[in-house]
Amino acid sequence: MSPSPIRTAPFGFWRSPITSDLIVAQSIGLSEVRLDGDTVWWLEGRPQEGGRSALVRQGQDGHTGDATPAGFNVRTRVHEYGGGAWTVADGTVFFSNDRPGPAGGPPDHRLYRQAPGAAPVAITPATDPAAGEWRFADGQIDARRKLWIGVGEHHTPGRAHPDNAIIAVPLDGAQAGTVRILAEGRDFFSSPRLSPDGSRLAWLAWDHPHMPWVETILHVADLAADGAVSNARALAGGSGESIFQPEWSPDGAQLVFVSDRSGWWNLHRCDGRGGPVEPILTLAAEFGQPQWVFGLSTYAFAGPGRLLCSYVEGGLGKLGFVDLATGALTPIALPFTDISSVRATDRTAVFRGGSPRDAASIVRLDLASLRWEVLKRATEIGQDPTLRGYFSEARPVEFPTAGGRTAFGLYYPPASADHAAPDGDVPPLVVKIHGGPTSASSSTLSLGIQYWTSRGIAVLDVNYGGSTGYGRAYRDRLNLSWGIVDVQDAVAGAKYLAAQRLADPARSVITGGSAGGYTALAALAFDSYFAGGASHFGVSDAAALARDTHKFESRYLDWLIGPYPAKAERYRERSPLFHADRVSKPVIFFQGDEDEVVPPNQTEAMVDALRAKGQPVGYVLFAGEQHGFRKAANIQRALDGELAFYAVEIFKTGLAF
């Protein structure tokens, strides 16, 4: 077949085969890969099934199939963001269910056990509306005592915030299904880890106003034969130190964890009994991640004397072996630049990997030969040779920003197999702001980004100050400076590209979700550079977020802006809602009506304020959606709606669907 002729058309007028219906029809979410013997397990988020999360397993024979049946949604809402909703032991799965109750009522949030070949069976009682409910996350199975041990979150009617604890749920006997509290008295808990001999339990805890990437404490306690906890003590952390992912060595002699006490999230260890903490290696690289969700894993023991680790260096992910005796790091040459959910035995490893050329994938790696294979991709679109010419690869960029500092991002130029722009033409630009704000842009192939670039619209995915992957000092740039540093970096990045004639300053827009939506709105209110933008479930009133949001983030703004209400005036100064009169560019908003992180009233207040002044504004409210859109039709409508809004109001390109 002869190639299509190249058509000359201005940037932004290109037609693309990467349509929203193609994206949602073939894309799934992949997360939380695990090993159980020789069986690989992972979690799939399926927009085509109303956003349901299903467990999938691949056996030694290569057969892949669903483990959880239709009607079950493997998800937890602990900390609202969830994660760590399931665990597996000897083929039996234990999971939290988020399916609606009878007659479309609220989700049951119960723990279920599903033995091989059997249907799921609830192992915790149904919620008593008068007594409240438990939610479950980050569990592991104590086979000796027949316990599920994990994080519990108890929601009591009439109380503003739930109570969090390390809990045990007996799996057999007269007490089966009841909740036993093992550790309490702190605002938050995560990462319970049982020593190999079952005699000790380690966990992380932290308190308001800290977030886990600011300060956590590593605890360990003795565990009696009946599961009673004693002699709990702190081993590391506190005083501005963030600890991440404790893991026991196979012989129980070492407790390994990630700490940022060196200025970078590096690997450390202790004996788990109160002995000194020592670094395993010291490197200007990040071996940890911000704990927005449970179940994160950046390393695993690959035998008694070595670790298999993912780490971020220069903003890109890598994989390597760490020798525990010498601390030597041996990188493994792989095509993946975004690596997470690392699990291993002494022979095999699995992880979630992605690259600028390939979508997020479940990958198995043979640790002897270092041969790897993809078990499942989030979408096969990246493998379609007819579409390859429409993919734009991420280009890491560094650019000067306020205060003589440097900021970072990923730039995606327009790309098309059958279009070219006239000489001298400069593309429109979408500046993408990641959420969090303590998070980072991903270098994995994103069809959401290719949707823009294949139409002749450039994208800058900004890793503004406060992003992870560049060390503690870079992460701390956002301390008390949210709405300032992030806005400065977004504007500086757009101006840098314009100076290189890589973006048209007159057609540069800014977009983001959640905290990224706040930065987008703040940039439109407090700076005049961008020609318009979009907010996906974004914050417009910082004070309302401090007053109304869920427990996990209810004091996050103390660090980002200052304590509320003591700094109420600063909140007002930083909130786009109270400066809507300064927004003079078109804006479109997308919101879920069940969002408890950023409630709809925040978005609607901003929309009403802009409409009152006659500003071009769009507003789309999605029924049944929470913080982030999971349903295929809504994901599609948000993509097409944002493009259509820009096309009409800003780019003046027509509808290049």
Distance of CA 51 to the CA centre of its chain: 16
Which is nearest to 457 in space by CA: 486, 490, 421?
421
Please report, rounded to a whole number, the percentage of residues in the chain having pLDDT higher than 70: 97
317 neighbors 337 (Cβ within 8 angstroms) = yes
Backbone angles phi, psi at 196, to 5 degrees: -55, -35
pLDDT at 475 over 80: yes
Least confident of 41-55, 191-205, 207-221: 41-55
Mind listing the pLDDT tens digit for each residue in 228-284? 999 999 999 999 999 999 999 999 999 999 999 999 999 999 999 999 999 999 999
* pLDDT tens for each residue of 164-211: 999 999 999 878 889 999 999 999 999 999 999 999 999 999 999 999
Tens-digit pLDDT profile for residues 575-632: 999 999 999 999 999 999 998 778 898 899 899 999 998 989 999 999 999 888 888 8
Sign of the dihedral through C-alpha 268, 80, 189, 250: negative
**pLDDT band with cut points at 50, 70 and 90 for residue 448:** very high
In this structure, which amino acid lies at residue 273? R
Token pair recorded at residue 481: 């400076």
pLDDT over 60 (residue 102): no
Which helix (H) or strand (E) segment holds residue 203: the answer is strand 200-206
Higher pLDDT, 201 or 126: 201
Tokens of 181: 């509290």
* CA 200 – CA 331 distance, rounded (Å): 33
Q: What is the pLDDT of residue 100?
A: 64
Look up residue 621 and give its two tokens: 């409210």
Taking the C-alpha atoms of residue 169 and residue 181, their distance in angstroms, rounded to an integer, is 9
Looking at the DSSP assignment, which residues form a beta bridge with residue 462?
409, 433
Residues 290 and 437 sit within 8 Å (Cβ to Cβ)? no
